[in-house]
Chain A
Amino acid sequence: MRINNYVAPDNLAEAYLVLNEHNSNTVLGGCTYLRLTSKNIDTAIDLSRLGLRYIEETADAVEIGALATYRDIEVSGILQSLFSGVLPQSVMVIVGVQFRNLATVGATVYSRYGFSDLNTALLALNPEVVLYHAGRIPMALFLEQGASKDILEKVIIPKADLRASFKYLRNSSGDYAILNVAVARSRDEWKIVVGARPFRAMIAAEASKCLSGSRLQKEDIERAAKTTADELEFGTNMRSSREYRQAVCEVLVQRAIQEVIS
């Protein structure tokens, strides 16, 4: 990675302006991923003066600022006690504590990484993302369509009477997940999300619907897991084959549902 100029703007309007002045101008998060690239950046934009590092609880939501780190999520009392603690669970296995003190939420969500653990857990909680230019949009839609040359300000998760579970399979601790799954239940409405397929996290809409209308017997859970594995697309990469991922998906979804109802 090469950087010609560096700026730390005082407000988002200025940051957005600089970002769009030149095609190669780039927002900096914790640089854990950027440092691996061979990007030639004209101007690097540091957001650290903008007060975006926070995790706050309001009356009806939890708001996570773009510069909140994985470690902030992991040790947040708010996030440990809400949503069955799935957000801390999803990040605490990623590399090491020194890494988690750097990697940020804004970069992870904005970049829509297929392998992301956090994005899978977040998506099950029905959040919205706030972008400086495009405004407030559901995360599910954002993960589908992405954005161009925008800045992610924060993620807003509605508070709900909700139980959730996060599961993953890894070849070894600290490695990327072969597959990850998040399941959430709010009253009778279920949401099943699968990520690292290795494609980006996605809601298994049909399976979620069929579970929502069911009596949650063993056969209902098995059917939901099978439907999930059938309706989503899986792929092959160096970590696992498509077939293996599909088989693992059924198991993890069943385990996650069992944990939510236990």
Chain B
Amino acid sequence: MKKRLYLELENCIGCRSCLAACTQCGGHEERNRNYVYDVNPLVNRQTMPLMCLHCVNPACARSCPAQAIQIHETGAVLSALVEKCIGCQNCTIACPYGIPKFDTEQNLMYKCDLCIDRTKDGIPPMCASVCPSNTLQWLTDEEIEAKQKQFNLDNGKWVTSMPYLEGETNVRVNLPGILQGVTKLF
């Protein structure tokens, strides 16, 4: 059963378990590839994770002169192939969300690969495995559809890829509470 990473952004409690878990994925060489931001740092404690959304037409891969960023058959946009990346950093400035990280010492870009070693076998990525608040989940399309119904999001406020993002993505993003002004118990 094909599953997707699904984000319910306003659940995030800012524990940063997702960052720590990311470092532990095989092939990540103990460095995290995702972000957690304070939404309004001087006023409240709301945080939101920022992940690679695994674009269907990924700007990072399209801008790479070395074809170092491969797209896996699951739709995951992989990290740079170590022997191909020529260190030009095109990808970092092409990504609309500023996701790819660059290591100048190693002359190598690295980015979220959706823990491809796990997700290719249907195991959830590290971040979704550890998130205590259900911000990051690993769901089938049917389950995501059920979420959509559950939160009664037929008012055009369902932020799931199009038309709210820059392009179609393989990760689904959703913000049921904040945009509707609804307090949500999950």
Bound pair: A and B? no
Task: Give A residues with C-beta under 8 Å from B.
Answer: none
